[in-house]
Amino acid sequence: MSVSPAVLNPAQMNDVGHQPQKTFAPSRDVEVPAISVVGLGYVGAVSMACLSHLGFRMVGVDIEMDKVEAINEGRSPIVEDRLGELLDEGVQGGLIAATDNLVAAVMQTDVTMISVGTPTADDGSCDLSFVRKASRAIGQAISMKSSYHVIVLRCSVPPGTTLDVVAPEIEKASGKRLGPDFGVCFNPEFLREGVAVADFFAPPKTVVGASDERAAETVSSIYEAVDKKVIFTSIAAAEMVKYVDNVWHATKVAFGNEVGRICKALDIDSHDVMDIFVQDKKLNLSPYYLKPGFAFGGSCLPKEVRAVGHLAGDLGVEVPLIDSLMPSNRSHIAQAVRMLAPYAGKRIGFLGLTFKPGTDDLRESPTLDLMSHLLANGETLRAYDGNLDFGPMLQGQIEYVRHAVPRQAKLMDELEALTLPDADALVANSDVIVVSHATDEFRTALAKRAPNVDVIDLARLSRQLPEEKNYHGIAW
């Protein structure tokens, strides 16, 4: 891939890095494309073999000639179940060829998948040098083509790479423009080494972020035989999904190992514990608790996290992941404090006080933590929560919070006085409204607010974010 890019003046470059990202989904049939794959490691070699099995003509590209020769001889360059068998099938059927000439490969195909290495740089960032080099060579190739070409990035990269790095490099090297002349997609892979072929034919999900509808149509047609429910999203979201998946898997491994170390110190069989743990598909292995929102609270989570951390300390067991949970939770509350800093001196109203909707439990409510901080700074607060009845039962909770969390004592003393009778009154008497419960009652009340009233949304009231300059979500 040692190809020198063409030199263009700035006027020929398209400012792809600042285009709004949209979600494109296919709407019509496309012809079966020929596909080139740049990088014949795990992802590239598996993609070559499996797509050829589905009937696609494949051209593989790599700078390592031993990989190129292995592919051309129908041999697997890596150890992976069934890979050699499928490669041999593709070579014998005339559907697989490999070369070290990237430009030639792109010239004879319609789609190019980039699966090059993205190692960690010395500063901990992602090294994109191989991605850049491949993109420039692809650009030189499509400069000599008259037909539309689709470039699909498949390696793990920071969000923004496809539109801010790959597309501009191709434009500079080709003199062509993103959209009319070529399209780009990000299509993350979710293959597990050892069972990659099986995963390809039965994917957990297929995600495509595309620059335009034509590119989306082309890529969706490639996966039609193995997944008819392709998930279409923005390119940046598709890039981020890959990172999130792998960080989550690492988190699960680290969590399981920390539990194992604690169990070993207590002479408990950790596999018995975790075998029971994973049987809970309603909460433990589910989407529950995985949607960004406000900090956790209540009578259980904070107390149990502290207790397990203390237990591990007594046992001399290091559990850095578990020990990081409370600081992480506090940092999320601190983010809400920062979001409210510009509103110093304004009337701040809170919709929802309990630690979550549908309960009157105030214990360790992160909203109360946020309010107590603002109150200590002299801010004017108002609140409403329909679950609260300031009778004897609630007074017991207030006394508990007052003594258990001394920094909230002042707030507990004033809580009833600053609470308004309904959501409409709260909205009418606030300059900025903080929402911590996503309820229909609060959605209805907020719809009546004056145009100059700001909203700090801690609960994601709607899937579709309002296009309003005075709406601010804490994590969206």
Q: What one-letter code names the amino acid at 230?
A: V
Of all residues in the chain, what percent carry a pLDDT higher than 90?
Answer: 92
- What's the confidence (pLDDT) of residue 21? 65
Question: pLDDT by residue (tens digit) across 150-186?
Answer: 999 999 999 999 999 999 999 999 999 999 999 999 9
At residue 235, does pLDDT exceed 80? yes
Secondary structure E strands in 270-334: none
Alpha-carbon span 402 to 397, nearest angstrom: 9
pLDDT at 23: 78
Using the CB atoms, write b or e for 283-309: b if 16+ within 10 Å: eeeeeeeeeebbbbbbeebbeebeebb
Q: Are 293 and 475 in contact (CB under 8 A)?
A: yes
Residue 1 confidence (pLDDT) above 60 = no
CA 233 to chain CA mean position, Å: 11
Query: Which pLDDT value is given to residue 393?
Result: 87
Compute the distance between CA of residue 429 and CA of residue 305 in angstroms, rounded to an integer: 38
Closest to 306 in 3D by CA, of 290, 289, 288, 324:
324
50, 185, 263, 300: the catalytic one is 300
Tell me which range, 9-13, 354-358, 462-466, is most confidently predicted by mean pLDDT: 354-358
**pLDDT above 60 (res 10):** no
Model pLDDT, residue 4: 30
The predicted model gives 122-144 an average pLDDT of 97
d(CA 130, CA 136): 10
pLDDT of residue 403: 93
Q: Output phi, psi for 445, to 5 deg.
A: -65, -40
Band (362; pLDDT cuts 50, 70, 90): very high
What's the angle, vertex CA 413, arms to CA 409 and CA 417, rounded to 5? 145
Residue 243 has a pLDDT of 97
Place of tokens 């296919």: 26
Whether the full predicted model's pTM is greater than 0.85, yes or no, is: yes
Q: Report whether pLDDT(24) > 80.
A: no
Residue written as token pair 């604690």: 262
| Mean of per-residue pLDDT scores for the chain | 93
Q: Identify the H or E element spanning 455.
A: strand 454-457
Q: Residues in the chain, how many? A: 476
Tens of pLDDT, residue by residue over 392-404, are 889 999 999 999 9
Whether the per-residue pLDDT at 18 is higher than 50: the answer is no
Whole-number Å distance between alpha carbons of 138 and 152: 11
pLDDT in tens, 307-321: 999 999 999 999 999
Q: What average pLDDT does this structure show over 214-221? A: 96
Rounded mean pLDDT, 123-129 = 96
Q: Has 185 been annotated as catalytic? A: no
* 238-257 pLDDT, tens digit each: 999 999 999 999 999 999 99
Which of 339, 387, 321 is closest to 360 using CA atoms? 387
Residue 247: half-sphere exposure toward Cβ, Cα within 13 Å: 7
